Amino acid sequence: MRKPLAAAAAILALGLLADPLMAQSPPQTAALIKLDTTKLASGYRASKIIGGVVINEANESVGKVDELLIGPDGRTPYAVLSVGGFLGLGDRLVVVPYDSLKMAANKIMLPGATKEALKALPEFRYARS
């Protein structure tokens, strides 16, 4: 009765010892930078921007932020805007560079934008995954 138990314990011990030897890979590193967290805390959270109304300089609503995306390069941010339509019907999605949006006084502004100009942009469709 003791031989099977001893054999199982030996196999388990070998497995525990061998695992670190077999699974060695180069250590990962991440570039860390110090940030001014106080200043950053007063920034704009994505959850507060998404769903926000986008206005132009004349304070006219020209769309709504549907989503924020990071481009395939992993760095460039974009805003997906829902434009046109009425009460959520007939709207279409377009994309603008996030840098083109201006934030001030809890408002999202797209300088120079008109409903017509935004509707003329190519329609955006989310990739199916």
pLDDT recorded at residue 104: 84
Residues of the chain with pLDDT under 70: 1-24, 86-89
pLDDT recorded at residue 32: 85
Bridge partners of residue 69, in order along the sequence: 78
The Cα diameter of the chain in Å comes to 88
Give domain status of residue 4, yes or no: no
Claim: this prediction has a pTM higher than 0.85:
no
Distance between CA 68 and CA 95 in Å, rounded? 9
Give domain status of residue 74, yes or no: yes
Q: Which runs of E-coded beta strand occur in the chain? A: 53-55, 61-70, 77-86, 89-97, 102-104, 107-109
Structure tokens at 63: 């769309």
Give domain status of residue 77, yes or no: yes
Give domain status of residue 105, yes or no: yes
Give domain status of residue 112, yes or no: yes
Give domain status of residue 2, yes or no: no
pLDDT recorded at residue 34: 87
pLDDT recorded at residue 35: 84
Q: Are 56 and 112 in contact (CB under 8 A)?
A: yes
Domain containing 70 equals 44-119
Distance between CA 55 and CA 47 in Å, rounded? 18
Place of tokens 């670190």: 20
Structure tokens at 118: 């935004």
Please count the structural domains in the chain: 1
Give domain status of residue 65, yes or no: yes
pLDDT recorded at residue 4: 57
Distance between CA 7 and CA 15 in Å, rounded? 12
**CATH number, residue 53:** 2.30.30.240
pLDDT recorded at residue 111: 95
Give domain status of residue 18, yes or no: no
pLDDT recorded at residue 30: 74
